[in-house]
Structure 1
Amino acid sequence: MKVTIYDVAKEAKVSIATVSKVINNTGRISESTRERVCEVMERLNYQPNIIASALMGKQTKTIGLLIPDLANPFFSELARSIEDRGHESGYDLVICSTDYQPEKENKYLTLLKQKRVDGFILASGFENLDKVEELVKEEIPVAVVARDFPMFPINAVALDDFLGGYQAASYLIKNGHRNIAVIGRDLWSNRERIRGFKQAMEENGLKHRSDFEFVQDIHHVDAAKRVTMKYLNSDDRPTAIFACNDLLAIGAIQAAKAWGLKVPDQLSIIGFDNTIIATVVEPPLTTIAQPIQNMGKEVMDLMVAMITGRQKEQKRVTLLPELVERQSVVKLGDPLHLDHSVHK
């Protein structure tokens, strides 16, 4: 038999109004009464009806997070950061993985609206502009993280992806690399990274080869491995690869090893994100770090400020990337650098 608010009030010897105040953290209640009501709710395993509360115009204390791929360590680490900050603020998170599929984005948005979540956080990879516009028009609190929608008046926490791509190319060029290939998926953040990458190439008098850029439907290790194999089969193969995330960099490393090449001695690889896998792969991955913890904290703080009405104006936060040097990039011309001939 389901426990009701009436059962809690009777057991705690208080009024229904007092239990409601404890649940919603409103009104003036003595600490001893609050503790007694909370103890009874826990003992009886009472679950407030958040949907009913939402229909009465109250908050459900839940936020929907749409991310494209939980298998990517960047998104799992980001989701954890957002969830931890939400817990600190008294909010629960409903996490939905969309697999970069617009139909899943639509499905989850509809489902979460029905569940009356207080707002939405959309992560990088969400490209459905019509749905973003719909949320804005419906005045539903929405914030984006690890990307931006500059055409809409919404809160955003983004990385300076242009600068990150610029840093990656500059570092490889500084280490003597000229033939540099790119692996990524066609997303807003990656487009910015590649734009920064090309800018650094141009400033150093280098031409970016179109046949060394693959930014189509690729977000898993196996796909990155296949693309890298294609690059390595080129007559003038690259000496370095810029992967737009660490997961793709792992695929590139696997392809090099399968080809019989030593990383970094015969092929240098730089990633992006600085997730946990960058430290455990062999060799440890040089990468462009995103401040994942700060991103999660900032976007949740913006969301809570919107929901509670503390923030009226939209705010955009841009965080800076940082190069993390490990052992996956070699300096060409270094005495330790091996011959670049292919040993297949």
Structure 2
Amino acid sequence: MEGNKIRNMEEFASVSGISRPTLSKYFNDPTSVRDSTRKRIEAAVEQYDYRPNLYAMNQNRRLTKNIGIVVPYLADPFFAEIARTLENHVLRTGYRPVLLGSHGRPELEIENLENLRLIKPAGVLLAPLGRVSEREQIEAFCKEVPTVLFDANIDGVGHAFVGSNNGQSIGLIVDYLCRTGEPPAFFEMETPTNPNAYKRRTAYLAAMERLDHKPRLIQAPGEGWEFEEIGFREGSRLLRDKTLPTDTILCSNDRLAIGFLSAAYEAGLRVGLGPGCALRVAGHDDHPFSRYTCPTLTTVSQDYEAIAKKSAEALLELIEAGSPGDSREETLFEGRLIMRGSA
């Protein structure tokens, strides 16, 4: 052994002086051992920074029927919708979903995973925060608990990833906007939280280059999850200062677009197609509110049903296998253009 790094429970039993069966009993149920024994084990765990290999332990114990579902923000109807769809798929397989939201906070994201660890889940479906996520801690969790990432990818983390093909979907809506009016500027946050935003920026630049148009990026100051507020604030400033480079705005996500639409309304500008319209505004995601904005929002839909179904299937395959495979599978679903009144 190098230093205090313990590779397995046998080594941990040797250095701690506690029998292997007692350790196994503790890690399956900490309340099943005497208080004095539990304190000894906990002290040794802290000293050697040891966590058991749950894959190995699962060979000797019955898995719970719990499946954790962790999303960045349950108050966001986008994540509420996809979580609801995931719950239905999990329930149909005979497992029990345990739904948790991270409120956009990386420390709470890790706390959610640690709380799930305590109930010994069969597996976890995780939509990570992305840029601000604690990568090392999430990676360590995934080594012990079968985990499938969805919506936002962290390269190399988890046993599978399921999401949307941002390159295809952004290319689709850029093509449409260029065919039907002025080429769009891309409106995004200066410091995006979700890694999908970076992929969409890259896809926009590639699509504009392919169509031989000059790309124009508009980056709004701000970070976090208050997208509507950021879209409204920066949209209001751009409209007040009359600095928009084009009359067509493609927003990185629908929530930014909803804020921008509100800014246009406050400025007395009509958004949409046809005579009398000063702006066209489009988004991405087909957020549940996008069909009720005024005007209704042109966007690209993500296939909630397909993403949820594939995520659940990938996790169940992993659970049934009993150990992680050698390769990490990534599945991307194409978006669909939703033409409404705003563009």
For the criterion TM > 0.5, the same-fold answer is yes
How do 1:111-126 and structure 2 match up within 5 A?
111-126=115-130
In structure 2, the CA distance between the partners of 1:178 and 1:315, relative to structure 1 (3 Å rule), is closer
Shift of 1:309: 1.8
In structure 2, the CA distance between the partners of 1:309 and 1:193, relative to structure 1 (3 Å rule), is same
CA distance in 2, matches of 1:136, 1:99: 21
Instruction: Report the 3-state secondary structure (helix = DSSP H, G, I; strand = E; otherwise coil) of the residue aligned with 1:273.
Output: coil
Shift of 1:241: 2.0
What is the match of residue 29 of structure 2?
A: none
What is the match of residue 336 of structure 1?
A: none
1:224 aligns with 2:231: yes
Deviations 1:33-63 (A, max 9, x none): xxxxxxxxxxxxxxxxxxxxx8972121111
Does the CA-based 8 Å contact 1:274-1:290 persist in structure 2? yes
Does the CA-based 8 Å contact 1:245-1:272 persist in structure 2? yes
- Give the TM-score normalised by structure 1: 0.74
In structure 2, the CA distance between the partners of 1:312 and 1:136, relative to structure 1 (3 Å rule), is closer
What is the match of residue 78 of structure 2?
A: 74
Deviations 1:130-166 (A, max 9, x none): 123212333x101011132332462111111122222
CA distance in 1, matches of 2:210, 2:301: 23
What is the match of residue 240 of structure 1?
A: 248
Letter in structure 2 aligned against 1:114 = L
Which of 89, 96, 99 is matched with 2:93 structurally?
89
CA distance in 1, matches of 2:59, 2:156: 32
What is the match of residue 51 of structure 2?
A: none
CA distance in 2, matches of 1:134, 1:145: 18
Letter in structure 1 aligned against 2:179 = K
How do 1:1-344 and structure 2 match up within 5 A?
57-126=61-130, 127-138=133-144, 140-152=145-157, 154-178=159-183, 180-184=185-189, 185-210=192-217, 212-214=218-220, 216-220=222-226, 221-237=228-244, 238-264=246-272, 265-309=277-321, 313=325, 314-329=328-343
Does the CA-based 8 Å contact 1:240-1:269 persist in structure 2? yes
Does the CA-based 8 Å contact 2:162-2:332 persist in structure 1? yes
Letter in structure 2 aligned against 1:163 = Q
What is the match of residue 333 of structure 1?
A: none
Letter in structure 2 aligned against 1:290 = Q
CA distance in 2, matches of 1:158, 1:121: 12
CA distance in 2, matches of 1:161, 1:219: 20
CA distance in 2, matches of 1:277, 1:188: 22
CA distance in 2, matches of 1:215, 1:199: 24
Does the CA-based 8 Å contact 1:146-1:158 persist in structure 2? yes
Instruction: Report the 3-state secondary structure (helix = DSSP H, G, I; strand = E; otherwise coil) of the residue aligned with 2:283.
Output: strand
Instruction: Report the 3-state secondary structure (helix = DSSP H, G, I; strand = E; otherwise coil) of the residue aligned with 2:282.
Output: strand
- Give the TM-score normalised by structure 2: 0.74
In structure 2, the CA distance between the partners of 1:280 and 1:288, relative to structure 1 (3 Å rule), is same
Deviations 1:234-277 (A, max 9, x none): 44314122222222221111111011111122121111111321
Task: Give unmatched runs, 5+ long, in structure 1.
Answer: 1-53, 330-344
Shift of 1:124: 4.9
| Worse-matched range after superposition: 276-285 or 188-197 | 276-285
What is the identity percentage for the equivalent residue pairs of Structure 1 and Structure 2?
24
| Worse-matched range after superposition: 251-260 or 94-103 | 94-103
CA distance in 1, matches of 2:59, 2:320: 17
Letter in structure 2 aligned against 1:301 = E
Letter in structure 2 aligned against 1:297 = K
What is the match of residue 17 of structure 1?
A: none
Task: Give unmatched runs, 5+ long, in structure 2.
Answer: 1-57
CA distance in 2, matches of 1:171, 1:121: 34
Does the CA-based 8 Å contact 1:288-1:324 persist in structure 2? yes
TM-align CA RMSD: 2.4
Does the CA-based 8 Å contact 1:218-1:224 persist in structure 2? no
Instruction: Report the 3-state secondary structure (helix = DSSP H, G, I; strand = E; otherwise coil) of the residue aligned with 2:212.
Output: coil
Aligned residues: 275
Does the CA-based 8 Å contact 2:113-2:141 persist in structure 1? no
CA distance in 1, matches of 2:157, 2:95: 25
